[in-house]
């Protein structure tokens, strides 16, 4: 089976895990956590980075820092993972879904501006497939209405927008190191914070509502409970594995980008013929990280038939998100503004091709050959 994703060792992961054990500190906020925080801040151009046990945890921290409360609204796409919305719902807030841009599959800035109400507190902008949303226009809307702007950059480590890295473009940003991402630790995440007035509270929330971080820096002689919070720290074993991966981020992303380029070259003739649509990377202002390569088929039946065709040939090609605005919990906890036609169409038509660091050239050739067989036999 050619897997859609396969985790890979890319550096000194096992050596650093052994070193973490030898150091005798396995709980959070040890040597490797601090190294990861520093390196992530450098990679993202952010003021502060805080390692978390998942991107879900980082999103929940962002909602706490944004002071989302009952009835507060947060504008976001419906075409996203459930954690983006759950972080808001857990605080009593209301996710407000708007449609996505057809070219980038990210938030449509015009629709975001039209959805702002007196109850709007924040905008959560997802960088789908590692392609950064139009953060300049979203930031203008946020500034005009006094809203916080949070990047859901789960898929976007190493991506940039107009020369600025993902993670530095909003008030906060949330990253994932789940095993399906470019840089992995099995589970894992990080919150980057760019507003100085939010940094100390972010440390407190992450440390169960205590000022333990100040204690560890010698700023207070004991630590105590000072705010709400939870246990958002990963262990040092996770941090050690992640640090080894982070040191190889350029190598990993370059390999994935090269695989995407080969896919694009192989399927470009089918796009020219009107058979499908390929991802829009918009290289003039956005630089992606090779996180994902997808095909937008002509309709749901076409997409499902393609998936079955590839499965019969031992190749995993999954679809992606079911829109949150039509999910049972979405209908219960959220609302949407305007037509969601692009979201629904993309959800029906999108299929993802195998893409991971260890994908061999021969495997890539097999994927391309099998896909081309389907597309040529089922020309429309």
| pLDDT of 69 above 80 | yes
**Residue 248 pLDDT level (bands cut at 50, 70, 90):** very high
Per-residue model confidence (pLDDT) at position 284: 65
Six-digit token pair at 99? Answer: 């449609």
Q: Which two structure tokens, joined as six digits, stand for 10?
A: 């890319």
pLDDT at residue 320 is higher than 90: yes
| Domains observed in the chain | 13-246 (3.40.640.10), 249-377 (3.90.1150.10)
| Position 282 pLDDT exceeds 60 | no
Residue written as tokens 């630089």? 287
| Per-residue pLDDT at 354 | 98
**Matching residue, tokens 């709007």:** 120
CA–CA separation, 282 vs 277, rounded Å? 14
Tell me, what's the pLDDT at 103? 92
Q: Residue 198's pLDDT band (boundaries 50, 70, 90)?
A: very high
Q: What is the pLDDT of residues 162-181, one digit of tens each?
A: 999 999 999 999 999 999 99
Residue 380 pLDDT grade (very low, low, confident, very high; cuts 50, 70, 90):
low
Q: Are 108 and 101 in contact (CB under 8 A)?
A: yes
DSSP reduced 3-state for 315? strand
Which tens digits make up the pLDDT trace of 203-234? 999 999 999 888 888 888 889 999 999 999 99
Q: What is the 3-state secondary structure (H, E, C) of 336-360?
A: ECCCCHHHHHHHHHEEECCCCCCCC
Close Cβ partners of 69 (under 8 Å, ≥ 6 residues apart): 91, 92, 93
Query: How far is 97 from 343, CA to CA, in rounded Å?
Result: 10
pLDDT on residue 215: 86
SS3 content of the chain, % helix, strand, coil (to 5): 45, 15, 40
The SS3 assignment for 125 reads strand
CA 260, CA 36: separation in Å to the nearest integer? 28
Q: Give residue 353's pLDDT band: very low, low, confident or very high (50, 70, 90).
A: very high
Integer Cα distance of 95 and 93 in angstroms: 7
> Is the Cβ–Cβ distance between 93 and 121 less than 8 Å?
yes
């Amino acid at each position: 089976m050619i897997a859609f994703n396969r985790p890979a060792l890319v550096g000194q992961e096992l050596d650093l895990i052994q070193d973490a054990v030898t150091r005798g500190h396995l709980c959070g906020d040890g040597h490797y956590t601090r190294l990861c925080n520093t390196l992530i801040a450098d990679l993202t151009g952010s003021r502060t980075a805080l390692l978390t046990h998942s991107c879900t945890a980082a999103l929940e921290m962002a909602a706490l820092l944004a002071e989302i409360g009952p009835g507060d609204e947060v504008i976001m796409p419906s075409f996203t993972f459930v954690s983006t919305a759950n972080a808001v719902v857990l605080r009593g807030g209301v996710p407000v879904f708007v449609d996505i841009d057809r070219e980038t599959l990210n938030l449509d800035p015009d629709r975001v501006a039209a959805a702002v109400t007196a109850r709007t507190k924040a905008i959560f902008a997802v960088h789908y497939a590692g392609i950064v949303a139009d953060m300049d226009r979203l930031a203008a809307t946020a500034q005009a209405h006094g809203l916080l702007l949070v990047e859901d950059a789960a898929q976007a480590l190493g991506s940039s927008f107009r020369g600025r890295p993902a993670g530095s473009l909003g008030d906060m940003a949330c990253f994932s190191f789940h095993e399906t991402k470019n840089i992995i630790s099995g589970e894992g995440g990080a919150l980057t914070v760019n507003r100085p007035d939010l940094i100390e509270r972010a440390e407190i929330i992450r440390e169960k509502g205590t000022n333990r971080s100040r204690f560890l820096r010698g700023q207070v002689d004991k630590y105590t409970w000072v705010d709400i919070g939870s246990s958002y720290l990963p262990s040092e074993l996770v941090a050690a594995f992640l640090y080894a991966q982070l040191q190889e981020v350029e190598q990993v992303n370059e390999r994935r980008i090269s695989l995407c380029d080969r896919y694009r070259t192989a399927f470009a003739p089918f796009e020219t013929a009107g058979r499908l649509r390929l991802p829009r990377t918009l290289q003039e202002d956005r630089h992606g990280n090779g996180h994902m390569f997808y095909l937008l088929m002509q309709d749901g039946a076409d997409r499902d038939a393609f998936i079955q065709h590839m499965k019969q040939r031992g190749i995993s090609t999954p679809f992606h998100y079911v829109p949150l605005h039509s999910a049972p919990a979405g209908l219960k906890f959220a609302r949407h503004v305007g037509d969601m036609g692009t979201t629904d169409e993309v959800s029906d038509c999108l299929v993802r091709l195998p893409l991971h660091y260890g994908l061999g050239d021969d495997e890539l050739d097999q994927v391309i050959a099998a896909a081309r067989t389907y597309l040529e036999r089922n020309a429309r």
